[in-house]
Every structure is written in C-alpha cells, then in structure tokens.
Amino acid sequence: TKQKLWGGRFTGKTDPLMHAFNQSLKYDQRMHAADIQGSIAYAKSLTLVGILTKEEETKITNGLAMVGKEWQDGVFQPQEDDEDIHTANERRLSELIGPLGGKLHTGRSRNDQVATDMRLWLLDQVQDIEQSVKGLLHVIVDRAEKEKEILLPGYTHLQRGQPIRWSHLLLSHAMSFRYDLERLQQLIPRISVLPLGSGALAGNPFAVDREFLAKELSFASVAENSMWGVGDRDFIVEFLMWSSLTMTHISRMAEDLIIYSTAEFGFVTLSDAYSTGSSIMPQKKNPDSLELLRGKSGRIFGNMAGFLMTLKGLPSTYNKDLQEDKEPLFDSVDNVSASLKIAEGVHADKMYKALTMDVLATDLADYLVRKGIPFRETHHVSGRAVALAESRQCQLNELTLADFKSLNENFGEDIHTVFNFEASVERREAIGGTSKK
C-alpha cells in the first residue's frame, strides 16, 4: 500500500472514517489552479537559492503545468489517498516526473501553501464580484435615469410620508452598493499579502526570496510575521463580513420590490422571467427571485458567524480547524455572485402612482412657514387640516379656503400651489433631495 505524504512516523493505519472526515479534496480542488501557480513560483525561488538546478526547475515546472492541464481538461484522476488539493497535486507531479517531484516541498509547508492558495483564489474571485457590483450599479442608475418622471409616496414606518421620485428610491439603493464597491476594493490590499515562505510557522530555512515570490504571484506585499502568515484568516472573515452587508442591502431592496408588487400596493409588476407560479392557485405570480435574494442573506450571514466561531478559540498559527474556512468562503462567493447577477436581472415593469393628498401635509405646514409662522405651530395646523379632511371623508385639497382660514388666518388664495406633487418633489433641491436636480 502507498504511503501518505506524512506517513513516516506512523505505524498504525488511519481509520477510514477519519480519512473521510479529514479529506478536503472534494471542495478544495476548486483551488487547483492557484495551487499549481504557487508551486511554480516556489520552484523558481528554490533555484535562486541553489536547491534546484535550472534543469530540475524546468522539469518540475513543466510537470506542474501538465498537472494543471489535467485539472483544466477534467481528466485529473483523484486517488483515494489524496487528502487535499496540495497532496493530490504533489502526488501526481511525482508520478509524472519521478522522485525529483519530492524536492518541490523543500522548506515549504502545507500551512504556508494553503494560506497562499486561498488568497490567490479569493483575489481572482473578488475581481469578478467587483464587476458584478458595478453591473448592478449600472442597471439601477440607468433605470433611475429612464424613469425619473415617476412619482410615488415615500414611506417611513411603511406609512405614507412625502412624495418622492421613483428614481430617488432606486438611487438610495445604489448608494449602498456604491459603498459596498468601495469596501470591496479596500479589502484587496489586505487579501494580497503573501504567506508563502513562512514555512510551517517559524519561517523558511533556505532563505527563499519572498519579495521575488510576491512579484511572481502578483501579491502586493509579504506577510511580515511567519506565525501570522500561516495562522491568519482575517482576509476570509472580512470577505464574509462584506458579503453579509452586501446581501443585507440586496435583501432590503428585494423587500421593497416584494411589497410594491403586491396587489395591495400595485406599484410594480415583476417580469415573468424572474417570477414563478403556484402549483395550486392559478392566478399567482410569485416574486421567488426576490424572496431568494432576501433568504440568501441569512445563509451568508450564517457563513460569517459560523466561521468566526471556528476562529475564536484557536491558539496561534495553523490548526486543522482552519480547513473549515473553505466551505463558508466558497459558499459565500458562489451565492453572492449569483445574487448580484439575479438582482441585476430582476425588473419591475409598471409603476403606478399611488399618491394621496395627505402626503402633502408637510408641504402644507411649510406653506405657513414661508408666511413667517414657526414650524411647531404650522405642524399643528396642518395636522388639524388632515383631521378635518378625514372627518369629512374628503381629500386635503377638497377643503375650502374658508375651512383653511378657520384653522389659521394666514392661509390665502395661493393655497392651491401646495397641492401639487411635482412641485413638492422639486422643492427638495438641497443636495441629496428628491428633486431632479
């Protein structure tokens, strides 16, 4: 029977259950390209310090490229004993080029190797996700531009508040994604710190040039403490936190659209492409896409909370618990990427006006303010006008001038200017307001 890569000091066999429990290849094979890339750079660094001859280096790097190609072509044959992507690649390398393959791991540990692979892999994913966030931003901004004439009530406490432009609501969500984009970009330099050359924990005894390694692998900097280098997973936590916050924003936007698509609101109609029907109620068109976006946010938060729990009691440097970084990270990357793409696609077809005159009650109070009366008084007057209209079961603008004058003598003929949604919206032209400006 074949020997495990670390089997020298062992006489007993691994329990089959333990073997399966320990094995991470089924999920960490996603990092096959990063693992090969890291190994090629490491082989080159070994030549620079005289561990490998140039000829040996060429054999090793060619072998690694062949292993990489097998993965790419989908023909890599995992073996029962391959514990993880690192042992699988090294095993295959030695099959292809013989015992020389055994020189590659000189001075390296899977501890600095796996941390390097994870960072390389994530850097690549973050670039994609950055593009998706930008895509979503473009869709929202274009939509806001096209539909800026539409007015609707803006809500606080889900109660009608003041008239707003539909574009203003859309752009309020875009603001969140704009800062998500900024935050994502700020993570990059902290992901881009090279652990390779940290060894198992104490450092590399063959004086490999870590600046060279960083350059080869396009890392922005080198981990300046080897124990930290092998034990740090904060870059993963930060990404999981970023994912949680971004999904929270997606979820809140989804919730707006879910509410607005109900018959009770009837503001928007969801496109068929992102809705589904009911197996029993023929009339239904359900906002499943939006509900999944809202639902996924819980699971993404769970990935973050779960992994922080894994980290919190760990002693310094590498502990096998850290292998638990992969599934939450991979799951969050997959689901955030998919969610951003779905959120980009979902669109609402129709937008109806649902404005009632009571949302102009603030403007009514402001009308008297412009005549010199303190706002605290005008607020009260306007509230009484609302109550009067309510008792008469009429709209605010259906009260007569005499009615208004009975509440305050400063009301005049120009009162009708208040009852204009467009004018109300356009008055909010201070920076950040809902006017077109």
Q: List the catalytic residues.
A: 157, 278
Does 111 bind ligand ARG (CB under 6 A)? Our answer is: yes
In this structure, the number of other CB atoms found within 10 A of the CB of residue 346 comes to 19
Does 122 bind ligand ARG (CB under 6 A)? Our answer is: no
Q: In angstroms, give the least distance from the CB of 197 to ligand ARG.
A: 16
Q: In angstroms, give the least distance from the CB of 114 to ligand ARG.
A: 4
Does 322 bind ligand ARG (CB under 6 A)? Our answer is: yes
Q: Measured between alpha carbons, how far is residue 57 from residues 63, 88, 203 in Å?
A: 10, 20, 22
Of 10-18, 126-134, 251-259, 317-325: span binding ligand ARG (CB under 6 A): 317-325
* Cα–Cα distance measured from residue 292 to residue 339, given in angstroms and rounded to the nearest whole number: 9
Among 71, 235, 318, 404, binds ligand ARG (CB under 6 A): 318
Does 89 bind ligand ARG (CB under 6 A)? Our answer is: no
Q: In angstroms, give the least distance from the CB of 6 to ligand ARG.
A: 8
* Cα–Cα distance measured from residue 361 to residue 387, given in angstroms and rounded to the nearest whole number: 11
Does 2 bind ligand ARG (CB under 6 A)? Our answer is: no
Q: For residue 263, what are its two tokens?
A: 């018959």
Q: Measured between alpha carbons, how far is residue 77 from residues 14, 55, 62, 95 in Å?
A: 22, 27, 18, 12
- Name which of residues 11 to 30 contact ligand ARG (CB under 6 A): 24, 28
Q: In angstroms, give the least distance from the CB of 204 to ligand ARG.
A: 16
Does 310 bind ligand ARG (CB under 6 A)? Our answer is: no
Q: In angstroms, give the least distance from the CB of 305 to ligand ARG.
A: 20
Shorter beta-carbon distance to ligand ARG: residue 219 or 330: 330
Does 320 bind ligand ARG (CB under 6 A)? Our answer is: yes
Of 260-268, 288-296, 319-327, 355-363: span binding ligand ARG (CB under 6 A): 319-327
Among 269, 286, 323, 410, binds ligand ARG (CB under 6 A): 323
Q: Which residues would be at the binding site for ligand ARG (CB under 6 A)?
A: 24, 28, 84, 86, 110-111, 114, 318, 320, 322-323
